[in-house]
Structure 1
């Protein structure tokens, strides 16, 4: 078993003490001399040249400046004190042969240091470049010196000082020629980088905004190939610097080119064909034959360019196929589309491609590990799962196999889900299928529900493109400016359902004044929140409501409002907005005075005892003064998240995952919500600028709510 330096020093001391014991009788002075043990020979593994390990020959380091050499020095224990109390000096020696063939020597003695620490020597500036320099060291305790580090089985250390930077690298590419417009988003290409300097060991490279990396040649000075995947259109530049074995860096070489829009899909079926059609026309690729279980003219997801889709009945006749392969599954490809499952209780296939008695890949849904359904992309022994399919809910699903990385990736509603998996696909030269997958005994795992806009790509679909494919634009569902009322109702600006006012709810108009011309005028202090009017509620019975739902609470939606509480210390919680059913609210926004916060409360069912999910933002009741507080509620069905915004901003505490959204059939309520199955939590204060959207607004759009103008939803 290897022994430590302390173990060896103790053994040495024991041996010396033993001999000293025998010597004391005859010569006491000899015993005193034996008590001082010489320092230990510095070990090669404890020596460093400019921070690099001691080495010789082809392993010797090259350095970019005259280096600092270091050595850990040890002095063994004595009778009087442990080794840590001993002090030692390093005696360094360096030598080389100069250009005239004469040997040059330099020496240095370090300061005294405690045993076990490192001594160093900054070598002089006259060390010549491109010359092998050798050095060694020994330890001295003031009485005796150790052996040199090069003796007794040790070794000298060598280095070469390199004072010249490598030449700038060369860059060429047939895929991305300089100043060309041939690069396309989603398609890999290669750069060849080389150098005229034969000591280059690496090339550092970067693109505008990244990525960054380092590539090393097989031998010094050799070329490297750098692969690149364009992910955005516009000008792009590859910048490269060469690094030699001493760490010196060359000047930069820039290779500029332009990236253009990605190629269209290899095959694309909108599936928006007229009802009764026998096949689906293709935007690109061949038409897809439709089985008799396919009905065109079905609904389409809101907020997309689709007008209709195809409905598949889940039987052996519910499929579409071009009767030919759409893509080479051994190479990079992607497949995706909009789907709305009618059932999620079994394996269901959105798209596949036939192989020999099995599918080469499948995209669809399947039961998860806990029996809950998940979206799935299977290819080449890999399966990526994620997201939560919901019966009757639209989702965009897309599977990607990148042959460059060997990874399979799954996107749901434009967001990457699950963990990419290594795949080894086999050839699947059979027909592409929509709505079913090949099995040993025939087709199986049939889709039941709607399918639309199926696309197959023979390239990478980059993350931004996947997000665009799965995006749904929010649509204004209602805007109540609360400036006026007629016949007990305040109109929606574009002719939608008005807000019916109850007793205790009034539209307050701005008070006319003549302060501009009357010096004795006292300006009013109680202005409406926004514009010339707002809704005032008495906190007892006052509320306003539509006679039907304003947003689909089972799908993505956004609701915004401006509110000012009449009291600085309300006596009970007060709801400003809600929408739900007969017994519970699908959502409500309320102020809870005991917590000094606004809360967004969502429930999992139209049941007074349904489980609640609550997120909150801290706030102080304004007590009838100020410009009010701007609140916004966002439910994003694509990410299954709820968010509560206050004055345009949210937080981690105001965000939560929520899977229990349901379709409420009650009208939008302003100023009240359900409490134990009955109406309550009436609000006392003012409300203005109620906005409702089908779809989830983003941060920048939320910032525009509540100022009396339409936000940009783009």
Structure 2
């Protein structure tokens, strides 16, 4: 074939039909130029294959872990988030190179065939229901449809896998997934001082044995204690998680010093290849990371054959409790890490092989130069969704429904009932913030409710929320929730006079001092408190993130403002509803900001409520997440 062209220009030439190119036949083409005197050398050969049609058959799909539902049988199997093996086949199509699969509403995942025209074996996790209000619904099983197509060498997709034939065919591979498995192990770390065993509170008996420098300290806010680890401290036992599929590790940790890489939780599976997952703190960057390693030998610490790592985007503050999580998504082949309920990074694992030889393994808490404390460690043989991880980022510290009752409705061992302070003002309403609510507390501007002692660690991350109905437009500050120090409240959730305008606010005192008085505020800058708010119910949430050094206000489930805050101090007094404690510079300490209105469904949490959790708390009718 010859084509004339202007000097320096390119040329396009069509292959004549007379060449008789054959479907699925491989060819090569080379070219050279001629300048009127001489020919150039031949170009590098360009290979191509004639493929004018897409895959003529859909792929095949089979799974022993998740059998396909038929018209006559559909048995529950596996569980939401739990990996199962699926075998995808080319169905006789010779040039299949990839497979693409997804669940309804989920992202598509592409995996390579083992060879041209070959199949693929993949691990796939049935997802939770996406549109759920209560978090427990995320773990419920039910029908799921897996969609699968094959992709040929030209990038064309086949039709979707269907079951049945003719008019009885059904699109997609349909399964009935069981409910999500509960935690495989849960170490609350509430054992008495000097205990040699960290007890697994599940029925799976994954107890760990302590060694080295391990002691008991005050817990992270869950009402119990925590383990403090020195450089040599650890708690170890047999491997508690299956490293072949999706898994998640969640822990609460407070780092006291940055000393290289500090192991929070490590899972090791001996074999060839050797596997290891590690949730750790990088002392150099002060970031929490999750690492997946594939080793080349059966020894305990082989050089890695492959290593993938996901690290938090921002450094963490030493001395603050963090709710951290990490894991592996076997379906998407991603390692991920989360800090205080927010997923911050992920790393795609290019290749991953499960152990084929060797036995035994190890799960370890602490170890490898961890200097700090750990609390409430859990592992799952499934992937937890981000909103589940967000829910685990907080611990109930107090729950007062205020339905004609002062009782704390948490399940904590230590509860915080309320005491009435001052005139009752006919304390209880027979209505609440939603229809059907049994009641709320009434405040006439002269009284309050308070606990007998401390509820929150205000020098650590915490979140508070309440429903409030004002009886008038405030002309002064009104505090819905506060926790007392000696002369100041640590925080004030309610209404602040901002200039001459009353606004919803979450304010924090910088110190428990009568000589130096300074606040930081998160204010609703767009919504003033007006006559339209009087008599209606408004949901307020205040969040203090000690590690990120921020305070945030939410109004009716919507973010209002986030403000930087570096000061931290512990208020050891009671939590109060309906008033605050305040001392002006060199003045007299007094209970102030008493509210005129009604308050309902008060909540206090150790940890950071994520935006998703705040929205759920607002949307739920009963305040149950």
**TM-score, normalisation: structure 2:** 0.62
1:581 and 2:485 are equivalent in the alignment? yes
Instruction: Find the partner of 1:311 among 227, 237, 256.
Output: 227
Deviation (angstroms), 1:194: 2.8
| Residue aligning to 1:616 | 524
Where does 1:680-691 land on structure 2 (aligned, <5 Å)? Answer: 686-691=596-601
Instruction: Find the partner of 1:279 among 197, 205, 211.
Output: 197
Cα pair 1:574 1:681 within 8 Å, conserved: no
Deviations along 1:39-92, whole A, 9 cap, x unmatched? xx99648xxxxxxxx766799999xxxxxxxxxxxxxxxxxxxxxxxxxxxxxx
| Residue aligning to 1:632 | 540
Cα pair 1:204 1:215 within 8 Å, conserved: yes
Deviation (angstroms), 1:644: 3.2
SS at match of 2:535: coil
SS at match of 2:558: coil
Cα pair 1:268 1:285 within 8 Å, conserved: no
Distance, in Å, in 1 between the alignment partners of 2:525 and 2:531 is: 18
Distance, in Å, in 1 between the alignment partners of 2:20 and 2:563 is: 57
| Residue aligning to 2:311 | 385
Higher Rg: 1
SS at match of 2:624: coil
Distance, in Å, in 1 between the alignment partners of 2:204 and 2:594 is: 60
Where does 1:116-265 land on structure 2 (aligned, <5 Å)? Answer: 166-179=56-69, 181-184=76-79, 185-195=81-91, 205-212=101-108, 222-225=117-120, 227-232=122-127, 233-240=141-148, 250=159, 253=162, 254-261=172-179
Deviation (angstroms), 1:596: 5.8
Instruction: Find the partner of 2:385 among 463, 472, 477.
Output: 463
| Residue aligning to 1:375 | 288
SS at match of 1:507: coil
Distance, in Å, in 1 between the alignment partners of 2:595 and 2:246 is: 58
Deviations along 1:652-687, whole A, 9 cap, x unmatched? x33567675543234426356648546799659722
Cα pair 2:466 2:480 within 8 Å, conserved: no
RMSD: 5.4
Deviations along 1:321-351, whole A, 9 cap, x unmatched? 33x666797x667573544437245454333
Cα pair 1:575 1:673 within 8 Å, conserved: no
Distance, in Å, in 1 between the alignment partners of 2:387 and 2:470 is: 42
Deviation (angstroms), 1:421: 6.8
1:365 and 2:281 are equivalent in the alignment? yes
Distance, in Å, in 2 between the alignment partners of 1:434 and 1:214 is: 35
| Residue aligning to 1:336 | 249
Q: How many residues align?
A: 509
Cα pair 1:339 1:450 within 8 Å, conserved: yes
Distance, in Å, in 2 between the alignment partners of 1:361 and 1:384 is: 11
Deviations along 1:86-106, whole A, 9 cap, x unmatched? xxxxxxxxxxxxxxxxxxxxx
Deviations along 1:356-415, whole A, 9 cap, x unmatched? 9xx96653434353xxx4334355455543376667755443333567766542233554
Instruction: Find the partner of 1:496 among 417, 421, 426.
Output: 417
Cα pair 1:271 1:454 within 8 Å, conserved: no
Instruction: Find the partner of 1:558 among 441, 446, 464.
Output: 464
| Higher RCO, 1 vs 2 (CA within 8 Å, ≥6 residues apart) | 2
Cα pair 2:98 2:112 within 8 Å, conserved: yes
Deviations along 1:466-494, whole A, 9 cap, x unmatched? 6288354535444557x9xxxxxxx8467
Cα pair 1:61 1:160 within 8 Å, conserved: no
Cα pair 1:266 1:285 within 8 Å, conserved: no
| Residue aligning to 1:664 | 571
Cα pair 1:61 1:246 within 8 Å, conserved: no
Distance, in Å, in 1 between the alignment partners of 2:583 and 2:224 is: 41
1:712 and 2:608 are equivalent in the alignment? no
| Residue aligning to 2:210 | 290
Distance, in Å, in 1 between the alignment partners of 2:367 and 2:441 is: 58
Deviation (angstroms), 1:688: 1.2
Greater Cα offset, 408-417 or 267-276: 267-276
In structure 1, stretches of 5+ residues that fail to align are 12-40, 46-53, 63-158, 438-444, 484-490, 512-529, 706-710
Deviation (angstroms), 1:230: 0.9
Distance, in Å, in 1 between the alignment partners of 2:391 and 2:427 is: 46
| Residue aligning to 2:495 | 590
| Residue aligning to 1:28 | none
Distance, in Å, in 1 between the alignment partners of 2:351 and 2:20 is: 40
Cα pair 1:559 1:693 within 8 Å, conserved: yes
Instruction: Find the partner of 2:557 among 644, 649, 665.
Output: 649
Cα pair 2:478 2:595 within 8 Å, conserved: no
| Residue aligning to 1:320 | 235
Distance, in Å, in 1 between the alignment partners of 2:426 and 2:373 is: 50
Distance 1:713 1:636, change over 3 A: farther
| Residue aligning to 2:42 | none
Distance, in Å, in 2 between the alignment partners of 1:476 and 1:547 is: 10
1:434 and 2:387 are equivalent in the alignment? no
| Residue aligning to 2:339 | 412
Distance, in Å, in 2 between the alignment partners of 1:355 and 1:171 is: 30
Distance 1:344 1:606, change over 3 A: farther
| Residue aligning to 2:373 | 449
Deviations along 1:243-271, whole A, 9 cap, x unmatched? 88797964751322233356677776554
Deviation (angstroms), 1:178: 2.0
Distance, in Å, in 2 between the alignment partners of 1:510 and 1:405 is: 53
| Residue aligning to 1:601 | 507
In structure 2, stretches of 5+ residues that fail to align are 24-49, 70-74, 128-140, 163-171, 294-306, 409-415, 430-437
Deviation (angstroms), 1:319: 2.6
Distance, in Å, in 2 between the alignment partners of 1:575 and 1:465 is: 30
Cα pair 2:324 2:337 within 8 Å, conserved: yes
Where does 1:2-13 land on structure 2 (aligned, <5 Å)? Answer: none
